[in-house]
Amino acid sequence: MTQFDALTETGSVDQPPISNEVPLPVMHAIKAVEEDNSALIDEAVSRLIEDAGQVGLPRPFLSGIEQSLKTGNWSNFARSLQAFDFLGEDGRFFLLAPYTTSRKARTETVLSAIYGSRLNLGETPAILPILLDLFGVVHEKVPQIVPIVAYAGAGWFAGESGEAFIVPNGWAGLPEGDGPVFNNMSEQLNRVRVAFEAISRIFDDTSASLLLSVYTPQSRLMTTLNAEYSFHEGGHASGIGLNHKFAAGVLNSPFYGAVEEWRSDGVAFETARRALPLETVGTLVASNVITRFGIDAHRSGALHLDTDVNSALLMFHSLIESGMLRVHPNKRLGFVGATFPGLARATEMMSASAISLTRRELQLPDPHAVWTLYPSVISVPQSVRQLFQQTVIDPCLGLYRDLR
């Protein structure tokens, strides 16, 4: 039994199990979206509305989807997302709308669908008061993270090639991003399965064991991921604000997007240090390292095209500069002081730099000035880029098939 197999067989949360059983009307709609056949989609949605009561989905919300498909106006869909009108009585939902994402330096909008259930993973600490204490002002709402289990998906929500973290500004009708963020735990579990192998290849045994222990048992995996992403989204809300940057078009390259991700991570770690015990902060840092080094670093766009690969590079650079991450002669990585409090301390320099950058953002005359600010803040030497390639990317070549 592998470490991940043991993880998934021990511990549980009081939630509906991940299941392949999808009601037939829902499956017909998913298949129609997969085939990109508008006539079949219209027919399937109409049938789904008729059977809404039997499959536990809210008929008014589905009727709104039908109307949006006919008119091309998704404003009512967006308002229903904001009001959480998409949820059935037992937390089940079906979403269908155009969704936009950017991979390999290209933005693409695809009609997408997802069927799943909402999870209850408990409350996270209040983040807004800490951000106000740090920066004096916050220009955007801290979005609500909605952890979900997905049973079926199409378009941008189909498996490894799709999105496991569904952000509001991706939906048609929500360009300002004021809506829930869906964290697809079933797809996160699939990716973590591969990430376990990646982390074991990248890090020495002591550091790998520490990092991977944060996700054992499975109930801890879900709650830790949910907490980490909540703090991360709080980081995005600080400074100019993520949605204001999107609206201004200043995150239009892998580098600028990566700096934003790095900045958000650094702010998130400091916010967590002010809200949680140091040991718990270390578990959130470990979760982030697993995501950045075990998943994001291996996206198919690579360093020249992908924002998340570059964000992993920036974190690697920060940890190397801190002196808390070392490279062994065999090219495996190891943390100095491999404990959860040690991980929390390892990101202190990164957090200080990210907070400084955020405060400088707040002094800019308008969001477009980010173009002049970001390049002067972070410059990764070629030697560090090569080290990142040798220690993080190369050991894991071939682990992922189609991770965009």
**Based on the domain organization, do 375 and 317 belong to the same domain?**
yes
State residue 19's pLDDT score: 46
Q: 169 with 229, same domain?
A: no
3-state secondary structure labels for all residues of 56-79: CCCHHHHHHHHHHHHHCCCHHHHH
150 and 238 co-located in one domain: no
Query: For position 247, what pLDDT does the model report?
Result: 85
* Within a domain: 133: no
- State residue 92's pLDDT score: 95
153 and 257 in a single domain? The answer is no
Query: Are residues 67 and 207 located together in one domain of the fold?
Result: no
The pairing of strands 145-154 and 181-184 is parallel
Q: What percent of the chain has pLDDT over 90?
A: 70
Q: Which residues pair with 326 in a beta bridge?
A: 334
User: Dihedral (C-alpha) 233, 235, 240, 241: value to the nearest 10 degrees?
Assistant: 0
User: What is the spatial distance between Cα 315 and Cα 323, in angstroms, rounded to a whole number?
Assistant: 13
CATH number for the domain harbouring residue 28: 3.30.540
Same domain, 80 and 151: yes
Domain-located, residue 404: no
The span from the CA of 294 to the CA of 26, in Å, is 33
Is 100 in the same domain as 114?
A: yes
Q: b/e map of 208-231 (b: 16 or more CB within 10 Å)? A: bebbbebbbebebbbbbbbbbbbb
The ranges of the chain with pLDDT < 70 are 1-20, 103-105, 159-161, 175-177, 219, 402, 404
Same domain, 325 and 224: yes
3-state secondary structure 150-185: EEEEEHHHCHHHCCCEECHHHECCCCCCCCCEEEEH
Pair 171, 269 in one domain: no
What pLDDT is recorded for position 277?
A: 96
* Residue 276 belongs to a domain: yes
Tokens of residue 150, six digits = 């997905």
Residue that is last in its domain, among 179, 200, 226 = 179
Residues written for the chain: 404
Give how many domains the chain has, as a whole number.
Answer: 2
pLDDT at 68: 96
Residue 228 lies in a domain: yes
Cβ proximity of 183 and 150 under 8 Å: no
Alpha-carbon gap, residue 135 to 88, rounded angstroms: 39
Q: Are 186 and 314 a contacting pair, CB within 8 Å? A: no
Residues 265 and 346 in one domain: yes
Phi, psi (rounded to 5 degrees) for 106? -135, 130
In a domain, 8, yes or no: no
Identify whether the C-beta of residue 10 lies closer than 8 Å to the C-beta of residue 218.
Answer: yes
Q: Final residue of a domain: which of 179, 204, 225?
A: 179
Q: Does residue 403 belong to any structural domain of this protein?
A: no
Q: What is the pLDDT of residue 340?
A: 97
232 within domain boundaries? yes
Amino acid 352: pLDDT:
98
Co-location of 200 and 236 in the same domain:
yes
Q: 226 and 90, same structural domain?
A: no
What 3-state DSSP class applies to 117? strand
Residue 371 lies in a domain: yes
Q: What pLDDT was estimated at residue 342?
A: 97
Contacts of 47 (CB under 8 A, 6+ apart): 25, 28
HSE of 125 in the Cβ direction (CA atoms, 13 Å)? 18
Domain termination site, one of 128, 161, 179: 179
Phi–psi pair at 48, nearest 5 degrees:
-65, -40
pLDDT at 11: 36
Q: Print the domain residue range for 84.
A: 22-120+145-179
The set of residues, in sequence order, having a beta carbon less than 8 Å from that of 54 and lying 6+ positions away, is 23
